[in-house]
Every structure is written in structure tokens, then in C-alpha cells.
Amino acid sequence: MLFKFFINICKKMTADRLDYRNKIILAPMVRVGTLPTRLLALEMGADIVYTEELIDLKLVKCVRNVNDILGTIDYVDPSDGTVSFRTCNLEKSRLVLQMGTSDADRALAVGKKIQQDISGLDINMGCPKEFSIKGGMGVALLAQPDKACHILKTLVDNLDIPVTCKIRILPSVEDTIELVKKLTSTGIAAIGIHARTRDERPRHNPHPEVIKEVAKHVSIPVICNGGSRDIEKYEDILKFRNLCGASSIMVARAAQMNVSIFRKGGLLPMDDLICKYLKLSVDYDNPPHNTKYGIQSIMREQQETPRGKLFLQSQTMQHMCDIWNMGDYCRQKELELHNKGNMGRRQVVPGQVPDSDILEVAAKKAKTDESVEDDEKDIIEENVAFLRCNYNIKTDHFPKTQLYVFANKNDKLPPTYVTEGKDKLFRSICTFDDKRYRSTFWQKNKKQAEQAAALVCLKNIGLVTTEELIKNGSILR
């Protein structure tokens, strides 16, 4: 009976583990593979989704936070409150995190930290970018197969989730086969293979015949990659997989341009796709700069149209949503999340995150007035953020300039600023006409902190209105 019990447990564990066979996969793509894209890829028909490459050095210092407002798990960088990795239950059973690493112990520390929130861990051994190579990551590991195997073996032996790696082919078919045999001997669950060498780029023809030969010599699933230049519709995905003789396929650039490539019913119109992507970005509080990059990838040459040029000028989520008639939805959703207590960038303050011992104080250039904390009673404070995107450098005066011009015209002393810096965050006090003004919002640099303080002053002396600041996103109400 005891033997049967253990057999059943083993069967259940096997059933729960991510299966890489006969799958169509969203490939790891830097800046693209964030939560909105991954969820949209799954909606369109992808079987598995990979995150963008996330570096172990960044992840190892992150703090895990359960975000009940968004329904997500956030890995937060405690140095500035930014979210390095965000996921949710909708994708957990089909989510693989790709990690950039050159150290087995560090990789294991990250793996143990995040394995409860993902279904697979992939080690990037195929990125040819200089950043990866200089750090001993990516394709640099292919030149050190023993080290690569040590990293994989360490993870396979100590994690509860399947471990994989993604490589590029070597110039020699025989050498590629030997490398793959060595890597697969570590017990990894699958191996992704890009059909180009480390020195080849998308403009070069892929080599599906190499992957086909490699696949004959391994028993684990081979996931082919590198066919996007010839993938224009769903059927082309299957065609390239067959050319490679692979069990599964992952799609990168073709999915970046139109993630509905995974849709058996055909591609969605560009505007429909962008609206879906925007809604997910708003719902999951995706950073505007990342959302903008994703839409740029979808629009491509359409960025040269009048609407495209208007889009390129946008910086906030509201600005982008307005272009696709989703502005009201965006404003209502952001307000809803704010009222529920979502910890967005606006609420980030120094020292709010545990493990503060790993924080770096980056206030070297900030003038810190120690007497500020002793006398704060007369400071006029408001939660007003300075958003650079609201100002055209060629036509608009920034808040500090507006205040300076006003002072000059009215024969008043120019404003002065004192800035404090803590944990890579900055906040200024603007002194003008014998009164002091400060934003409760901590900015990411000294200059923006001074602009925010000037903006609070402008509001209080009537040079800008609350309505204007609400409309452009500087005040969230």
C-alpha cells in the first residue's frame, strides 16, 4: 500500500510539471515579454509564455510582494520601488522565467525565491548582446560548457520546477550535437535552440537543418527558434517547426509585431490588438514606457502617420489611451486602483521596503538640509508629481522657469531649493515669497524633485489650476 501511495504521488507530481512537448511558445524578448504581452499571447493561443530575460543580480535583491489590489505577485526592487517582475495566477501554470546568470549559487538563490510563482526556469545561453557576454552570461556560457552544465545541474538537483536552457547553434553541426548532449545530461526538461550562430543576426538565413539533426540525438523536447522572418501567419509557425524536426517552437519577432500570430483564426487588426494590449496594461498597472515600447513594436511603419506621430509624443498611460478612445477607461481604472490602495510609483517612499540593509543611498549630488525635519510645520505639501512628458522642451516653460519668470516680473526674490536624497529617491523644498512648498511625491532625480516642488508652488499661487494638473496626470484623484 505504501509503495502504491508513493507511485501515485510521483504520478501527480509529473502531471503537475510543465510539459514542453508539442507546444507553441512565446519566446523570451527583452522589454516585450512583460505581463500584458504574456497574457495576451495566452489569450491568442500560445501554450507557454516566457518572460523577458531577467538578470539574477537584480532578482536576488528583490522583495516578493503579494499585490491584492492588482491580483499579482510583484518582485520589487527596494532601491527605488520599481517592479522588476510581475506575474499573476492566470499565467502561472504556463509561465517560464528566463534568467541571465553566470553563477550557479546566485542562480539557485533566485530559483528558490521565485519557483513558487512560476512553472519553469530557463537559463539564457543564447543572447549574443555585449552586455550578456561581458557578464559571462548568454552565449558566453557556450564557450564554457562545464560551467554551463554546473549551473544547470545545480538548479535541476535543487529546484521543484523543471529547468531548461536556450542556446544558439555552433558553426559545426557535430559540435552542436556534442554540446546539446552534454547539456541534456544534466537532467534539464527541454532545450531551446535558436537556428543561428552567435555571430549571425535576423538578416541572416536560419539553419533549420542543424536543429533537425540535433533533435535526432536527444530524447528531451527540442524547442526551435529563429524562423520569424518567414512567419506571417499561424500556419507558418507549424511549417518552421516541421522544417526543424522539433517537438515545439518558440516565436519571437513575429509575435512582437503581432501577438495574434498565435491565433488559429488569423491575425487581428492592428487597432483591435492595441486596444486589448492597452486594457491589460491599464488593468495590471504596467509602466507607461514599457507599454509604449510594446505599441511601437505593433505599429511599426504606422508610427509615421499623423496618429503615429501623436502617439510618439505621448508618455503617460492616459495620453496613449486617449489616442485609441480609451482615455475614460484608463482614468476610471487608475482612480479605482488608487482608491483601493494600490502601491503605485506615486506612493514610493524611502525605507518603506523591508531588507533595507541592501539599499544604496544615492544622494551624493543632493544638498541635504538636516534642519528640514526639525521644522516642517509651515511647509505646504501636496501630492503633485512632475511628469516630464507634459512639457515640450521647445515650446513650454518648465515649472521652475515659470516660477522664476513670475518672480522676476513681480520684483520678488527668485525661488530657492533644498533637496534631500534617500535610497535613490529625491524630494525638494521650494522657498518662495517667504513660504515653503514641497511635493509628497519622491522623484527619481534631483532636477525632477525641484520641478515638482515648483509645481506645488505654482498651484498654490494660482498660476496652474487643480483641474489642469488632474487632466495631465500630475494629480491623481
Rounded to the nearest 5 degrees, what angle is found at the Cα of 52, between the Cα atoms of 47 and 57?
A: 135
The verdict on whether 127 is a catalytic residue reads yes
DSSP assignment letter at 443: B
CB atoms within 10 A of CB 271: 14
Residues 429, 454: contact at Cβ < 8 Å?
no
Rounded Cα–Cα distance for residues 195 and 245 (Å): 12
Q: Is 176 exposed, middle or buried, given 0-12, 13-18 or 19+ CB atoms closer than 10 A? A: buried
Q: Kindly report the backbone phi and psi dihedral angles of residue 22, in degrees, each rounded to the nearest multiple of 5, phi listed first.
A: 55, 50
DSSP code string of 280-345: HHHHTT--HHHHHHHHHHHHGGGGGSHHHHHHHH--SHHHHHHHTT-HHHHHHHHHHHHHHT---G
DSSP assignment letter at 72: E
Residues 398, 389: contact at Cβ < 8 Å?
no
Q: Which three cell numbers stand for residue 376?
A: 516642517
Among candidate residues 62, 88, 127, 330, the one labeled active-site is 127
Identify the sign of the CA torsion 142, 144, 146, 148.
negative
Rounded Cα–Cα distance for residues 115 and 131 (Å): 26
- The residues assigned a catalytic role are 127
